[in-house]
Structures are given as C-alpha cells and as structure tokens.
Amino acid sequence: METLGFFPFDSPSTSSGSLRVRMTFMKILAIGDIFGQPGREAIAALLPKIIAEHNIDFVIANAENAAGGRGLTPKVADELLSYPIDVMTAGNHIWEHDALHPYFDIHPILRPINVIERLPGRGWLTKSKKGLNVAVVCLQGQIFMEDKGPAVSNPFRMMEAVLPEMKQKSDLVIVDFHAEATSEKRALAWFLDGKITGLFGTHTHVQTADAEIMPGGTAYISDLGMTGPHASVIGLEADTAIKRFLTGERKHFKVAKDDVRLEGVIIDIDEKTRRPTSIERLQIKHSPPL
Ligand code: FE2
C-alpha cells in the first residue's frame, strides 16, 4: 500500500502526546467519490488495509459515480455493500438509474436531503457504533449546480430546519456537502461550526489542502478528492474531456484507467467529549497486480 500523502491536522488543544494516551477515539474514514470500476477496485484492495492500519470504526463513502463514472446501479451497490462501508452518500448523479430506487429503503444509501421534487430515498440516517449514534447527512449545494440533476433547496436553511431532530437522535453529526463551489462549502462550514461534528465536501474530485478543526470544533475539508483514476479529467479520459470542451460534444464518456488512488480523510473523535481532535488527509495509490 503506497501512501502518497498523509497530512494530519491536530486540534491545538489536544495535540499533546500525554493527553492522547488517556483518550479513546471513534475513528471515522470518509472516502471521496468512488469513480467507476477503477475506484471500486481501489476500495476492494485498500479499504480493509486502511481499516486495519488506522483502527477505523466507521466508514462513509460517496458512491454517486461508482457505476461507470455516472450514478449507482443495484449491481454496483451490491458490490460496494459487500465491503465494510457503513453509509454511502451521493449527489446529483444518484438519479441516473431508476432501478436503484428500491435500494434507498433497504440499504444505507443516501440521496441529497434537500432535493425539492418528491423523489424516493432519504437524506440522512443514524447508525450506532461503539455506543455512539452517528448521523450521516447527504446535502447538495446550489452554486454552479443548476443544470446538474433535480433542483435542490437552500442547504443552509435545510440544515437549520433538520439539525435539531438530528442532534436529538444522535451523538455525532457528519455532513457530506456535495457541491461545486468552495465558497458555498466554506460558508456552510462556518455556519455549522460548533453545531456538527464534521463537514466534508465532495463532487469536485480534487482533494483540497484545507483540512482543519475549525474554531468551534467542527472537522472540515472542502473536498475529499476522488477514489478513482487520477490520470484523467476528474475521472474521465483526458482526450474525451478535451473533445467535449473543443466541440461541445457530450455523448462520449470514457472512464480513465491510470494512476488510481483512494482519497479521503480520517477524523478522530474523542468518545468522551464527542468532539473531533484531528482530521488527516489520505491519498493512497492503488497498484493493481500485473
Ligand atoms: Fe456530483
């Protein structure tokens, strides 16, 4: 397992070694958008090793591009459900395959909570691990997302409306904010800082270098990155993407193959205070056997 990057950010108040010894942690791994077959192969090969190496307790993965780079099918969901993933989040592409709709009721697969249209599925759920109820929320942004799937309502107002119930029913609240604009993600993080445990962005497929524990105590990163082929244009073969920009032709869609990585973050949460103490960025290369 070749680690390309491992970037810890410790909360200044908990970075002392002696203090850490007395603390026990809930460790949450959040995995950036799984893209196509290369992404799924990286999950199959690397996820068990990461869980063992970092003592991970809870795994959240964005799976909205796991089937051929667009959407999620029942077959691909079945494959991902066979791996140790606790909750799958999504975004605008989750509406590509209607056959997935029955899965929303029987599996831990979320769709954006703030979709305006009456559509199947749920936008948040809670799952218990180590005696803690973890609420996971799938929320979609509005900025530059206008032509990307069904319209969504204001994510700030949505969180304001649903947070009291989430906090009543859970010990930790983790939000996957599936959005394009860094400004919208950072603004929402400040809006929710101290009110939720963690907020990570997805959708852009490029990991940002701003992982931090915010002043109010919320763990944050603007984007987790992508679990898929990085010798690409956000997962798409570069030639295909360039042709799209040159000609406007959008019917061809070819998933790239090379430089496959698993990207995401690990958030350590003090089980006693239920507050995050560190957030570490992960970039791990997947080298398939020859
Ligand atoms: Fe997306």
Instruction: Give dist(CA 163, CA 102) in Å, integer.
Output: 26
pLDDT at 22: 63
**pLDDT tens across 212-267, in order?**
999 999 999 999 999 999 999 999 999 989 998 899 887 788 999 999 999 999 99
Provide DSSP, 220-266: EES---EEEESSSBTTB-HHHHHHHHHH---S---B--SSEEEEEEE
The amino acid that residue 86 corresponds to is D
**pTM metric for this prediction:** 0.92
141 CA distance to ligand 1 centroid (A)? 10
178 CA distance to ligand 1 centroid (A)? 6
**pLDDT tens across 59-110, in order?**
999 999 999 999 999 999 999 999 999 999 999 999 999 999 999 999 999 9
pLDDT at 88: 98
Residue 118 pLDDT greater than 80, yes or no: yes
149 CA distance to ligand 1 centroid (A)? 9
Q: Long-range contacts: 100-105, Cβ < 8 Å, 24+?
A: 100/71, 100/72, 100/73, 100/74, 102/74, 103/74, 103/77
Rounded to the nearest integer, the mean pLDDT of the chain is: 92
Active site residue 93: yes
Catalytic residue among 54, 93, 101, 252: 93
235 CA distance to ligand 1 centroid (A)? 12
What the block records as the tokens of 36 is 């196509």
Closest CA to 72 of 58, 53, 85, 59: 85
Residue 4 pLDDT greater than 80, yes or no: no
Class of domain 2-286: alpha beta
Looking from the CA of 215 toward its CB, the CA atoms found within 13 Å total 2
Closest CA to 60 of 269, 211, 224, 283: 224
- C-alpha distances in angstroms, 204 versus 107, 140, 186, 201, 225? 25, 12, 14, 8, 7
Domain boundaries, the chain: 2-286
The residue written with tokens 């002392």 in the block is 16
| CB-CB contact of 97 with 67 (8 Å) | yes
The residue written with tokens 């970039």 in the block is 283
114 CA distance to ligand 1 centroid (A)? 14
pLDDT at 163: 97
76 CA distance to ligand 1 centroid (A)? 17
**pLDDT tens across 99-111, in order?**
999 999 999 999 9
Instruction: Give dist(CA 288, CA 285) in Å, integer.
Output: 10
The residue written with tokens 């809870």 in the block is 58
